[in-house]
Amino acid sequence: MEPRKKIYDSMLELIGNTPMVRLNKIPAGTGSEILVKLEYMNPSGSLKDRIALEMIQAAAARGELKPGATIIESSTGNTGFALSSVGRMLGYNVTIYETMPGKAGAEKSKMMRNVGAEVRLMEPEDIEHLKERSIAGAEVELPGRQLCLEDETNHPGKIWWARQFSNEDNCKSHYVTAQEILEQTDGKLDVFVQSIGTGGSVAGIAKVLKKELPNLKVIGIQPASSKEPWHVGMDFPSTPIKGGIVSQMLKADGLIDELVMVTDTIAREMTHRLWLEEGVYCGVSSGANVHFALEEIKKAKGKKLRAVTLMCDHMNRYLTEERYVT
């Protein structure tokens, strides 16, 4: 990790190099460690700043994203806000199809508009079905992705669709995250746990960590409300608006060791413990991460393990509604 400067030239320089904290009360009595990497300390408040910067800069370098073009994406919130923030700072127009249902969607839309993005708020057809449940972003974003595909097709050169679900630069941005983890832990960790949205963070981090630590166990988390439960080794179809990184990740030999499903209730309960007991002011997916990290070290039965996970976003994303969202 690079040493901190006294004065930075841009907020973009503050993306990455996030601190890691040892939890004290939650794993007490287990004899093991849970270390959390505070990704909510990125400028826009989530780990998605990493992918926004990498995807935009890489596309511009390849000539795919031209000066004056508009960046578009379908998002439940974090990627949309990161693209809005980073994209506007780099001089691009940004349009986001916001697919988060209910009051939380309206709140996130306002955040994106406040930083200069155009937001098109979409309500899923089955919003009643989703009101009391966790949200699988990869599923509710599909209608927005279809519109992104149409926009890009109809306006070649003027519109660039970020395609976070299939963009390899999403994964590549997290090669750096993995290197930071290795440096912060001195290469000593036994378990890595992470919620799966587009799959970019899990796939990118696991690829680098497993190269250095072949015995590392990687656990991925999916919302219990998902209509398409995943399992390791499955053939998950990939289309212009679906699959992508997740399809490759599920079929990759040895990349993910276990996939688990989490309910809203379990994720919220651990999130509240993180707020109250540890002073870690994270979002609900981070609570799910710590829950399964704790479950894993409990299985060790006295063997000392070190589990690492990410605090993906900040609690201020969940003031209106506390929901597990990927």
Per-residue pLDDT tens over the stretch 256-306: 999 999 998 999 999 999 999 999 999 999 999 999 999 999 998 879 999
Please name which of 20, 21, 19, 142 lies closest in space to residue 76, comparing C-alpha atoms. Answer: 142
pLDDT band, very low/low/confident/very high, at 1 (cuts 50, 70, 90): confident
**Residues 30 and 52 occupy one common structural domain:** no
What does pLDDT average to over the chain?
90
> What is the average pLDDT across 36-43?
98
Task: For residue 6, tell me if it sits in a domain.
Answer: no
pLDDT at 116: 95
The pLDDT of residue 140 is above 90: no
Question: For residue 200, which of 310, 43, 116, 60 has the smallest C-alpha distance?
Answer: 310
Phi/psi at 236 (5° precision): -95, 120
Count up the domains in the chain and report the number: 2
42 and 188 both lie in a single domain: yes
Q: Are residues 41 and 179 in the same domain?
A: yes
Is 310 a domain residue?
yes
Q: Which domain holds residue 147?
A: 48-161
Single-letter code of the amino acid located at 318: Y
Tally of residues, the chain? 326
Domain final position from 133, 161, 189: 161
Quote the CA–CA distance of 294 and 307 in Å, as a whole number: 8
Q: Is the pLDDT of residue 30 over 60?
A: yes
Indicate if 152 and 177 belong to the same structural domain: no
212 & 280 share domain? yes
Q: Indicate whether 179 and 137 sit together in one domain.
A: no
Query: pLDDT tens digits for 168-207?
Result: 999 999 999 999 999 999 999 999 999 998 899 999 999 9
In this structure, the answer to whether residues 178 and 313 fall within a common structural domain is yes
